Amino acid sequence: MMASSDQVATCPADATVVGGGYEIAQEARAAGKVPIVVVNRPTETGWIVQCIDPDGQPSGACKAYVVCANILR
């Protein structure tokens, strides 16, 4: 089950996940409230990232991205 702070980026149906990661919002960095990344991994169809704030509460300050490719055969 995904927590409310999970961010998921998904590849199109005909593409394969080849990489991914996350970005921390500029507003959070500028305010000195940099979240802690607790999940940063691929899924079968994309990439997932989950962050918490320094108090351990879910944080929406992280955004997932995924790199996809069409594999030619």
Per-residue model confidence (pLDDT) at position 2: 45
Domain parsing of the chain, residue ranges: 6-69
Nearest to 2 by CA among 44, 56, 39, 46: 39
Summarised one tens digit per residue, pLDDT across range 9-48 is 999 999 999 999 999 999 988 888 899 999 999 999 999 9
Three state DSSP letters for the chain: CCCCCEEEEECCCCCEEEEEEEEECHHHHHCCCCCEEEEEEECCCEEEEEEECCCCCEECCEEEEEEEECCCC
**pTM of this structure:** 0.83
pLDDT above 60 for 3: no
